[in-house]
């Protein structure tokens, strides 16, 4: 499905959607806790829905409410013998719940879609096998998990995927005995693991961390009764970057300035670009600004790279993004797809081994492919604000993976959508 965007004025106020990262973690903790939980979650994307579906398959009872979810946890005395988990293209769902299913001892078949089956599971895969789990070959669909995970000593490279670490942290409280997760190499994307630890502690799970090692023992999760998924800084970043190159200021509300989300770094990065940006309580406001090229270390902010790259098109000079090699294994090869996006709109960008080099240049407009990747589709919309001509985004429905109301919010801020589709209430209609 295609979206045609005409050039026009852009600015206003928008509420940040609920954090997908927070919602995944809170749903998992609630499903494993003693007692029922009400989760306030203002937005439900395809990825969040996939996690809820899979937890239901593992024995929880999660239902949508007007404001989010009602969660009745799994009954550890009456666990299902078998489960089928349809995780779509959600890497968090897949990688978090493999260890959880193994710790519960449920024979589980996971059905990943898109590029997800090709994304690596090592070294988590090998560590799970050592500790009592049997699995089908990596890349298999369905991906089968059998056996029961045991406590003990685990070792994981910390520069492959923070999701592996989080998955074990969710699972090991369910195993009897003490466990240690020793991290090797450079710890990248630590903020995501910090979010996991924060969620676990909210549900009464004690975790220690010293000398690059997490320590935890078998224990019960206990619900606080009510939890809230905070606003999403990674999706707020699209509007903040749009405001820098738009015609009027953009304010994003519903954010937490002391959030554990690593992508709150968007504020400081935009300031480095030369943007005027202000934060106050639960909001951030950015103003149209003249930008200068910078160097961006992406090791802890991989999800910001696509929108930062299109923002760099408006910066004078040559912006370099590095430590971003892991982006080749996302919903698309994002180093390649970001370059293709920028070039299709008349810009200049090239790939390096681990990043991108973008030369500031006025964008003309054109037709760009989302590659079925939600962050590429949303970055294309942000890029359109700089363009002198119209922009057509193919595969625009990809935004539903993380931000179903994206196009509605884009239009509310002044984005002019023609001859396309209106996206509202998680539905796409002619």
Catalytic annotation, residues: 303
Q: Say whether 369 sits in a helix, a strand or coil.
A: strand
CA dihedral 372, 375, 378, 384 (to 10 degrees): -90
CA 97, chain centre distance (Å): 16
Task: Show the tokens assigned to 176.
Answer: 């009897």
Query: CB-based contacts of 335: which residues, under 8 Å, 6+ apart?
Result: 324, 325, 327, 328, 351, 355, 356
Give the position of tokens 């707020």. 236
**E strand residue ranges, 258-317:** 276-280, 283-287, 291-292, 295-297, 315-316
Output Rg (C-alpha) for the chain, integer angstroms: 21
**E strand residue ranges, 288-398:** 291-292, 295-297, 315-316, 318-322, 348-351, 356-359, 366-369, 391-394
Instruction: State the DSSP code for 333.
Output: -
Provide the H-helix boundaries in 345-399: 374-384
Q: Between vectors from CA 132 to CA 207 and to CA 191, what angle results, nearest 5°?
A: 30
User: How buried is residue 211: exposed, middle or buried, by Cβ count under 10 Å (0-12/13-18/19+)?
Assistant: exposed
Task: Show the tokens assigned to 49.
Answer: 């829905």
Backbone angles phi, psi at 204, to 5 degrees: 80, 15
Structural contact between residues 212 and 180, judged by C-beta atoms closer than 8 angstroms: no
CA 93, chain centre distance (Å): 11
Structural contact between residues 52 and 45, judged by C-beta atoms closer than 8 angstroms: no
User: How buried is residue 379: exposed, middle or buried, by Cβ count under 10 Å (0-12/13-18/19+)?
Assistant: buried
Give the position of tokens 């003249």. 290
The whole-angstrom separation of Cα 200 and Cα 187 is 20
Structural contact between residues 108 and 100, judged by C-beta atoms closer than 8 angstroms: no
């Amino acid at each position: 499905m295609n979206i045609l965007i005409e050039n026009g004025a852009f600015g206003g106020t928008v509420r940040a959607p609920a954090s997908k990262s927070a919602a995944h973690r809170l749903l998992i903790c609630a499903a494993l806790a003693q007692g029922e939980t009400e989760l306030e979650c203002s937005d439900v994307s395809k990825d969040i829905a996939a996690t809820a579906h899979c937890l239901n398959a593992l024995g929880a009872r999660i239902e949508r409410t007007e404001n989010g979810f009602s969660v009745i946890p799994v009954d550890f005395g009456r666990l299902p013998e078998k489960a089928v988990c349809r995780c779509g293209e959600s890497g968090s769902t897949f990688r978090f719940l493999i260890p959880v299913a193994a710790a519960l001892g449920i024979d589980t078949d996971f059905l990943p879609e898109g590029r997800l089956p090709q994304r690596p599971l090592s070294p988590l895969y090998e560590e799970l096998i050592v500790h009592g789990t049997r699995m089908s070959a990596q890349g298999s669909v369905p991906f089968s998990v059998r056996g029961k995970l045991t406590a003990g000593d685990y070792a994981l490279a910390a520069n492959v995927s923070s999701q592996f670490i989080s998955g074990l942290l969710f699972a090991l409280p369910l195993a009897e005995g003490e466990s240690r997760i020793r991290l090797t190499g450079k710890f990248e994307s630590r903020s995501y693991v910090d979010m996991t630890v924060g969620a676990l502690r909210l549900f009464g799970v004690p975790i220690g961390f010293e000398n690059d090692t997490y320590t935890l023992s078998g224990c019960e999760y206990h619900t606080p009764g009510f939890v809230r998924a905070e606003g999403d800084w990674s999706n707020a970043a699209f509007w903040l970057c749009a405001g820098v190159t738009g015609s009027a200021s953009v304010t994003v509300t519903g954010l937490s300035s002391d959030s554990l989300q690593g992508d709150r770094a968007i504020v400081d990065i935009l300031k480095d670009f030369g943007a005027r940006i202000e934060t106050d309580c639960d909001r951030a406001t950015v103003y149209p600004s003249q930008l200068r090229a910078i160097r961006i270390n992406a090791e802890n902010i991989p999800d910001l790279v696509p929108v930062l790259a299109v923002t760099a098109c408006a910066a004078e000079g040559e912006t370099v993004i590095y430590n971003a090699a892991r982006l080749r294994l996302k919903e698309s090869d994002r180093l390649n797809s970001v370059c293709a996006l920028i070039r299709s709109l008349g810009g200049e960008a090239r790939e390096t081994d681990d990043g991108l080099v973008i030369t500031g240049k006025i964008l003309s407009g054109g037709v760009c492919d989302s590659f079925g990747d939600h962050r590429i589709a949303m970055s294309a919309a942000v890029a359109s604000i700089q363009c002198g001509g119209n922009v057509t985004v193919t595969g625009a429905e990809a935004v539903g993976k993380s931000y179903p109301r994206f196009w509605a919010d884009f239009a509310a801020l002044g984005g002019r959508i023609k001859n396309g589709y209106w996206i509202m209430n998680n539905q796409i209609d002619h």
